[in-house]
Homo-oligomer: A and B are copies of this chain.
Amino acid sequence: MPVGRWASVHHPEIAEVELDDVLRALADPTRRTIVRMLLADGDRACGTFGLPVAASTLSHHFRALRRAGILRQYDDGRQRMNTLRLDELDTRFPGLVSTVLATPG
């Protein structure tokens, strides 16, 4: 199992995630695209999304999604992988994330 930078990344308990954090995180088109790609294709490294923003900006978005409890990150070699916390989110905010992702836009 991969270690390394993993220790430095903080993942909040799903119980301490606020609704405001989730709504604010999803109120951004770039971040919704990230989440939709993860939902469609499964885990992905940060650099494989092909989005038209700088790497530092992408890092900022991943931190927002991480702090909102929407995804979890773990290191694998020199890449940082992303995985959705869908089950936990659906326990904390039933139907919320799937409803947002299902709506066009």
Contact = CB atoms under 8 A, between A and B. Distances in A.
Interface string A80-103: 000000000000011110011011
Interface residues of A, number: 19
A19 interface: yes
Contact of A20 (B27, B96, B104): B27
Contact of A27 (B23, B93, B95): B23
Nearest 6 A/B pairs, CB to CB: A19-B105, A23-B27, A99-B99, A24-B27, A93-B103, A95-B99
Contacts of A29: 20
Interface of A: 18-20, 23-24, 26-29, 93-96, 99-100, 102-105
A22 to B, nearest CB: 8
A80 to B, nearest CB: 26
Given A19-B105, A24-B27, A95-B95, 19 more contacts: A18-B105, A19-B100, A19-B103, A19-B104, A20-B27, A20-B28, A20-B105, A23-B23, A23-B27, A24-B24, A27-B27, A93-B103, A94-B99, A94-B102, A94-B103, A96-B99, A96-B100, A96-B103, A99-B99
